[in-house]
């Protein structure tokens, strides 16, 4: 496999002993000093954003354990294959740590993960893998593997968008998780422009499938390609999909996707050891620009456009195949914003494009509930005619009818519409 394709760990690490893995999997490398550290060893600001990064681990490599004393306490144990067991020299810094992860990713919305495009090649990738937050170690577990709380393990619901283009070098994917991530915040990311030349950067992910490692001390080396920039990051196979941050403000600038050879065979030691390059030498590591993901680059702009009645901007986004269910960090969809802003024309266009009328935001409100709050009879009629369920309730157990005010003249017709929609169907 060409070293210009930075893949996740798709092959058994056992081939390391033959010297072929460097050509067969994702290729990354150490530039100058090895800057990788455990999460607990990094500055507090780095630790905070690292909490929103995740490992892609095959479901078959996780074993569920239920507490003998409390059945509600459930954890997963990761398969314990280590680098040393698979041909890496035993004096490697992380030779004894488990390596179950195949790729890396990071949270960009309430239920959205970004990773490399080559880590999400189809529905089998979605079905066969989990996304695990908090797959890291502390001083007590650094040499023995980790137990993962069950609530940190998510499944892939849908691959929203995936691009892997060998000609352009474009390599990214946006994945919807099976549920909202409520205990950690989506990361901030660039939506326009590009990172400045020589900017200091830091990467967070899972080199060779290891628990989370943070590596700073790098900078942008080449910044001319429209789809990616090149850096001297200390990354390896398994880092594919890792978040690359600007160290000044910890905004995500890109996605680690390709690079130099990871390991070289040492015949005297009869094992593989880290390939070391000078900071300004070797090919460098390619980082897909985060602005290449249309849903992220235009998401907030389109949500604001829907709220303002800017039909042209919303239509342009949809024509460009942007995801119609894109949400802000409150979980509000484009249709919800249009309903809240009483923009029937925008809502009609979104519904015609099969927008989900019964989607809920983070407090459980639907587009119908938002229309009711604004006393918008036309919007309520449109949503009900389009399949909105008047029986749904928010997080407090209140339905759309419960949100109406009986003494409000504008809402009398709305109450009548909702009661009719809630009435049992005859025959």
CA dihedral angle for residue 100, residue 155, residue 296, residue 214, rounded to 10 degrees: -30
Q: What is the pLDDT of residue 426?
A: 59
Element (H, E) at 304: helix 294-308
Cα separation, 222 vs 229, in Å, equals: 6
| DSSP assignment string, 152-185 | GEEEEEEEEEEEEETTTTEEEEEEEESS---SSP
Q: What is the pLDDT of residues 203-227, one digit of tens each?
A: 999 999 999 999 999 999 999 999 9
| DSSP assignment string, 37-59 | EEGGGS-HHHHHHHTTEEEEEEG
**pLDDT over 80 (residue 422):** yes
| pTM (2 d.p.) | 0.87
Q: What is the pLDDT of residues 244-293, one digit of tens each?
A: 999 999 999 999 999 988 889 999 999 999 999 988 888 899 999 999 99
Cα separation, 111 vs 244, in Å, equals: 20
Pick the CATH number of 294-422 from 3.40.1390.10, 3.40.50.150, 3.90.45.10, 1.25.40.20: 1.25.40.20
Q: What is the pLDDT of residues 152-179, one digit of tens each?
A: 999 999 999 999 998 899 999 999 999 9
Q: What is the pLDDT of residue 419?
A: 93
CB atoms within 10 A of CB 420: 10
Q: What is the pLDDT of residues 72-97, one digit of tens each?
A: 888 888 887 888 888 899 999 898 88
Instruction: Mention the CATH class of domain 13-286.
Output: mainly beta
Read off the tokens for 271: 């094992």
Domain boundaries, the chain: 13-286, 294-422
Cα separation, 103 vs 182, in Å, equals: 22
**pLDDT over 80 (residue 12):** no
């Amino acid at each position: 496999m060409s070293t210009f394709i930075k893949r996740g760990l798709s092959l058994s690490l056992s081939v390391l002993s033959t010297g072929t893995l460097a050509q067969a999997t994702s290729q990354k490398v150490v530039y100058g000093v090895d800057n990788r550290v455990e999460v607990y060893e990094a500055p507090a600001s780095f630790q905070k954003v690292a909490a929103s990064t995740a490992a892609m681990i095959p479901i078959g490599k996780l074993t569920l354990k239920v507490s003998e004393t409390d059945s509600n306490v459930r954890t997963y144990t990761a398969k314990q294959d280590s680098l040393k067991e698979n041909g890496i020299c035993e004096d490697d810094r992380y030779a004894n740590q488990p390596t179950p992860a195949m790729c890396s990713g990071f949270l960009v919305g309430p239920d959205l993960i970004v990773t490399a495009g080559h880590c999400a090649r189809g529905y089998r990738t979605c079905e066969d893998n989990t996304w695990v937050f908090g797959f890291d170690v502390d001083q007590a577990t650094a040499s023995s593997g980790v137990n993962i709380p069950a609530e940190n393990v998510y499944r892939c619901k849908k691959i929203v968008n995936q691009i892997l283009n060998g000609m352009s070098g474009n390599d990214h994917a946006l994945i919807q998780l099976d549920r909202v991530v409520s205990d950690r915040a989506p990361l901030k990311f660039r939506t326009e422009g590009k990172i400045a030349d020589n900017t200091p950067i830091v990467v967070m992910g899972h080199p060779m499938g290891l628990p989370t490692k943070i590596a700073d001390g790098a900078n942008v080396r080449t910044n001319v390609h429209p789809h990616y920039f090149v850096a001297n990051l200390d990354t390896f196979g398994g880092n594919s999909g890792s978040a690359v941050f600007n160290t000044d403000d910890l905004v995500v600038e890109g996605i680690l996707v390709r690079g130099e050879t990871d390991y070289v065979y040492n015949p005297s030691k009869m094992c593989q050891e880290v390939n070391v390059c000078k900071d300004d030498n070797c090919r460098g590591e390619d980082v897909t620009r985060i602005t290449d993901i249309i849903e992220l680059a235009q998401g907030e702009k389109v949500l604001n456009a829907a709220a303002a009645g800017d039909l042209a901007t919303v239509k342009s986004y949809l024509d460009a195949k942007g995801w119609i269910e894109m949400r802000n960090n409150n979980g509000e969809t484009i249709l919800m914003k249009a309903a809240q802003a009483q923009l029937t024309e925008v809502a009609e266009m979104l519904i015609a494009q099969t927008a989900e009328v019964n989607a809920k935001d983070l407090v459980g409100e639907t587009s119908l509930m938002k229309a009711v709050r604004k006393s918008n009879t036309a919007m309520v009629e449109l949503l009900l005619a389009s399949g909105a369920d008047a029986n749904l309730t928010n997080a407090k157990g209140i339905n759309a009818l419960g949100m109406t005010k009986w003494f409000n003249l504008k809402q009398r017709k709305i109450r009548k519409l909702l009661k009719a929609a809630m009435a049992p169907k005859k025959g």
